[in-house]
Amino acid sequence: MCRVKAKSLLSIYMKNYFLMHSCIKLVRSMLCLYTIFLLLQLGIAQPAKRKDWSYFVFAQKWPPAACLEVPHGKCLIPKGVTEW
């Protein structure tokens, strides 16, 4: 009976060992691929050639609406407004 338990424990240990080893290999492979991808991106990236500006600002102009005239009334977009 001790031999059966020892064999089953050994087989469980071996299965867990191989599972853990394969997970470690997978993590190493993913890390290696990520590193290669990162190095390629850093090598390909090109800085801006124009140096006469420091940053880019995105601004959006909203169309005039009736809300400005009547603060507690209905908010309507005039018919003349066709785009944002």
* Contact (Cβ atoms closer than 8 angstroms) between residue 75 and residue 65: yes
pLDDT at 29: 92
The HSE-up count of residue 78 (CA atoms within 13 Å, CB side) is 10
pLDDT at 1: 47
CA 80/CA 77 separation, integer angstroms: 8
pTM for the full predicted model: 0.40
Tell me the pLDDT tens digit for each residue of 24-45. Answer: 888 999 999 999 999 998 888 7
pLDDT at 7: 62
In three-state secondary structure terms, 1 is: coil
Q: What is the DSSP string of 17-73?
A: HHHHHHHHHHHHHHHHHHHHHHHHHHHH----S--S-S------PPPP-GGGT-TTS
